[in-house]
Structure 1
């Protein structure tokens, strides 16, 4: 109920008009309109109280991480544990307000009123960004899931369905069918890959402590392919930089088969490189040896680490190819619709949005199921 109540308040703030603003129709043909609508819930078109949506909250975390690398004081706070984390949380809240203030000033300079009306609008939009930050924390502390991701899911679901009628008006039923197939394919494949895992069986040795025997049970080590949108985004950015490809005109057309093939290869490569450094199999083998566990048929120590590494590299290679296939679906679909020249990065944006929606939905469902099982077994635990 807390989560649903916060979502209702958030959506009301995204339709409540800010003072001293004349609402005008959005620019439907602008290349960045669709991306900005997804990130702000359509707020930059009509300038409501929550005009920026969760965009300042999304931007504050990576900005703070970048500042942590550059500023030694912030790096020292990160190493201080819980006390440092609380200080960094305060800094992140202030950074959200600063980003909201900068965005409000940009809006006033670009299309807002001048004089006292501009001051009121800046104050209103900045306060709206701060209030959205508080709403995200309410969901995180008292609701289900991460507040930023839940509210971003709410605003994306509020904006995304309107794109299908707009696409029908411009391209017809065939385009709607293609986009529906693309959406369904990405959703199904993302769910399958997110739930898939390779279970390495582990047997624990039986130990006698006093008169009792411990161990002798069997378990497994789950190996997964870490999903991420960064390989697709990085590949699209690299292909769009003219400095890296001088004189190669066919790379500028997102519907060109050669560009799509090169995009697939880059996504597979970046996905493999990113997944290769996510888990240390030597550490896993050492931990298994410390607690008395072993893989049946494999000697403990370096042999176990070598076997786990062999299996993991095969999983990573297969997962990288699957990531390339998933990234290829929106690129091919939008190339068939012939909307890539008008909407640059449209395929990557659609992929990121759909993968994000699936991830948030799965995480929220797991939390609800965990709470349901806890309530179910609570009488037996007393």
Structure 2
């Protein structure tokens, strides 16, 4: 409480904190405002059961998708556009030159990112609106008013949802500039956390779940959070030494430094890519399988293949293909994403240019080989650890025989590997920024015990 009091005692930090909270509350308020032509009562009764690609979007939008709100897509199109632009700067030489041009190049890349966001929003919004038109509530009510023409509904819906995402993008930039933490990450963080009270209450009210099972699940989720913190904070430090340099009229030895590689350099991206690749065929197979009436050869094959991609399949043998494919995809994307963002050749060249070297390793080609060898050694255990965190909720549900319960599945899916990595990563990053502000003003850090990585000792 004394640390919280210190935060509120600093006027500048207090203003930043209150501004951030106000923007996040505005985001949550907009999540309940539906797009024109939608019946909110029917929408509340129409959430599909089971896992689909829409569940991923709904998790990151804070439940706004299945409410068909103005923030249905959240800020994920902007994140997706940023990821695409980051990949293009590595693949396309012209984009790489733009990135090296300094502030002017970055502004141009940001402009392309915003244009890509608009395109992604328009395409995704159209698919959501087509889905909404075909859906009905449990009582048979259509989600979209019959009095509104389809052309008007599609046009106003695309404009509304796209504008909502652009507003969130702007709000995220305002948090980054005037608040605490990274704005886009905090908006996703707030959307995921907002689902926690409802999921917990649904689980508690469910008479089919025993109190002992709830206790075990609570302990497991706390343990998963602790393991995620370890994975996020884990680094491999390589000592660096720089040659002597002239300082005034004397030759002095440069201060020793270290080169730090995270155990999980790719962060949550391998899980996002792997989940997207698996959820797409799951959704297509679910559409082809149908509801079981009027079975054809295609629907029968789709039903058989659907079982092999189901983490909650009836037997463990049928669950194994999903676990194996998911783990392989996460490991592959961990190596792929790290290779894009960490270039050993460029790193070795920069060290050689500025007179730095790794003790015992020759500059140049030998340094490049040493860095590659170190990265390969830490990426594999980090990726396996990441895959274990992503699959842990499914293992727990299957071991406790809770796979028939939709409330438990919803809680596990909401706070599974992807969401948990985002929650922990954003929370740690924001905490570090608050702590840096406190230390800068000679206050004790946010936590008295257990120093965070990067705190001044």
Q: What TM-score does the superposition give when structure 1 sets the normalisation length?
A: 0.77
Q: For the residues of structure 2 that align with 1:268 and 1:232, how far apart are their CA atoms?
A: 9
- Partner secondary structure for residue 438 of structure 2: helix
- Checking the alignment, whether the CA contact within 8 Å between 1:198 and 1:222 is kept in structure 2 is yes
Question: Counterpart of 2:252?
Answer: 214
Question: Counterpart of 1:380?
Answer: none
- Partner secondary structure for residue 195 of structure 2: helix
Task: Tell me which of 41, 54, 62 is aligned to 2:75.
Answer: 54
Tell me: CA distance 1:287–1:29, structure 2 relative to 1, closer, same or farther (3 Å).
closer
C-alpha deviation, 1:269, in angstroms:
4.5
- Partner secondary structure for residue 260 of structure 2: strand
Deviations along 1:195-222, one digit per CA (max 9) or x if unpaired, are 1112222333334556223224322222
Farther off after superposition, 314-323 or 122-131 = 122-131
Q: Which residues of structure 1 form unaligned runs of 5+?
A: 378-382
Tell me: CA distance 1:223–1:70, structure 2 relative to 1, closer, same or farther (3 Å).
closer
Q: For the residues of structure 1 that align with 2:110 and 2:24, how far apart are their CA atoms?
A: 23
Confirm or deny that 1:26 pairs with 2:45. yes
Q: Which residues of 2 match residues 287-302 of structure 1 at below 5 A?
A: 287-302=350-365
Question: Counterpart of 1:82?
Answer: 103
Question: Counterpart of 2:428?
Answer: 362
- Checking the alignment, whether the CA contact within 8 Å between 1:64 and 1:92 is kept in structure 2 is yes
- Checking the alignment, whether the CA contact within 8 Å between 1:186 and 1:351 is kept in structure 2 is no
Deviations along 1:123-151, one digit per CA (max 9) or x if unpaired, are 65554344323212211222223322111
Confirm or deny that 1:15 pairs with 2:81. no
- Partner secondary structure for residue 39 of structure 2: coil
- Checking the alignment, whether the CA contact within 8 Å between 1:135 and 1:147 is kept in structure 2 is yes
Q: For the residues of structure 1 that align with 2:117 and 2:277, how far apart are their CA atoms?
A: 29
- Partner secondary structure for residue 53 of structure 1: coil
- Checking the alignment, whether the CA contact within 8 Å between 2:47 and 2:66 is kept in structure 1 is no
Number of residue equivalences: 377
Tell me: CA distance 1:29–1:180, structure 2 relative to 1, closer, same or farther (3 Å).
farther
Deviations along 1:97-125, one digit per CA (max 9) or x if unpaired, are 56556666653862333448957776655
C-alpha deviation, 1:353, in angstroms:
0.8
Deviations along 1:313-358, one digit per CA (max 9) or x if unpaired, are 32223323322322331231233354389769x7597211111111
C-alpha deviation, 1:89, in angstroms:
3.2
Q: For the residues of structure 2 that align with 1:280 and 1:133, how far apart are their CA atoms?
A: 30
Question: Counterpart of 1:251?
Answer: 308
Confirm or deny that 1:330 pairs with 2:330. no
Question: Counterpart of 1:351?
Answer: 417
Tell me: CA distance 1:251–1:361, structure 2 relative to 1, closer, same or farther (3 Å).
same
Q: Which residues of 2 match residues 193-342 of structure 1 at below 5 A?
A: 193-208=231-246, 211-225=249-263, 226-235=265-274, 241=281, 251-255=308-312, 256-257=316-317, 258-259=320-321, 260-261=323-324, 263-276=326-339, 278-336=341-399, 337-339=401-403
C-alpha deviation, 1:22, in angstroms:
3.1
Question: Counterpart of 2:178?
Answer: 142
- Checking the alignment, whether the CA contact within 8 Å between 1:253 and 1:341 is kept in structure 2 is no
Q: What TM-score does the superposition give when structure 2 sets the normalisation length?
A: 0.66
Confirm or deny that 1:112 pairs with 2:144. yes
- Checking the alignment, whether the CA contact within 8 Å between 1:18 and 1:49 is kept in structure 2 is yes
C-alpha deviation, 1:187, in angstroms:
1.8
Question: Counterpart of 2:9?
Answer: none
C-alpha deviation, 1:264, in angstroms:
3.4
- Checking the alignment, whether the CA contact within 8 Å between 1:38 and 1:156 is kept in structure 2 is yes
Q: Which residues of structure 2 form unaligned runs of 5+?
A: 1-17, 134-142, 285-300, 444-457
